[in-house]
Amino acid sequence: MDSRHAIGAPQQHQGLLTVWNRLYKMGSLYLDLSLKRNESGAFLVGQVISAAQKPAAWRVTLHAPGYSRSSPINEYGNFRIQIPGKGGLELELTLENETFWVPGLDV
């Protein structure tokens, strides 16, 4: 499931600031992902929603041309990761032995 084309996304707030919220289904998990902006730049805020307890090995990595930044996922399934700027972004979600990709993030 991918909510990229849902009515109302992306949203325009305060003129030039674009934000969006998306929900992805990955196997038995859901990824709730949002693009946020503030005075220090843009960042992705996410939560992995699962019926099982979150293992310590969960990790998220944001990939862009010439850029890669990783962040752990906390015990509640939450993460926050800074975005380097506009461009072709992909999110890699590593959950123990499985890896999921979210390509083509609009920033």
Mean pLDDT of the chain: 81
Tell whether 6 is covered by a domain: no
Residue 5 lies in a domain: no
Asked whether residue 101 is assigned to any structural domain, the reply reads yes
CATH number, domain of 48, equals 2.60.40
- Answer yes or no: is 61 within a domain: yes
Distance CA 86, CA 75 (A): 30
> Is there a domain that residue 83 lies in?
yes
**Least confident interval from 2-6, 46-50, 84-88:** 2-6
What is the total count of domains within the chain? Answer: 1
**Under 8 Å between Cβ of 73 and 82:** no
63, 90 Cβ separation under 8 angstroms:
yes
What is the pTM (predicted TM-score) of this model?
Answer: 0.76
| Domain membership flag for residue 63 | yes
pLDDT attached to residue 25: 92
Q: Which of 64, 67, 71, 18 shows the shortest CA–CA distance to 48? A: 71
Lowest mean pLDDT among 1-15, 26-40, 67-81, 89-103: 1-15
Q: Does any domain span residue 1?
A: no
pLDDT band for position 63 (cuts 50, 70, 90): very high
According to the model, what pLDDT value does residue 41 have? 87
Q: Within a domain: residue 13?
A: no
Give me the domain span that covers residue 29.
20-105
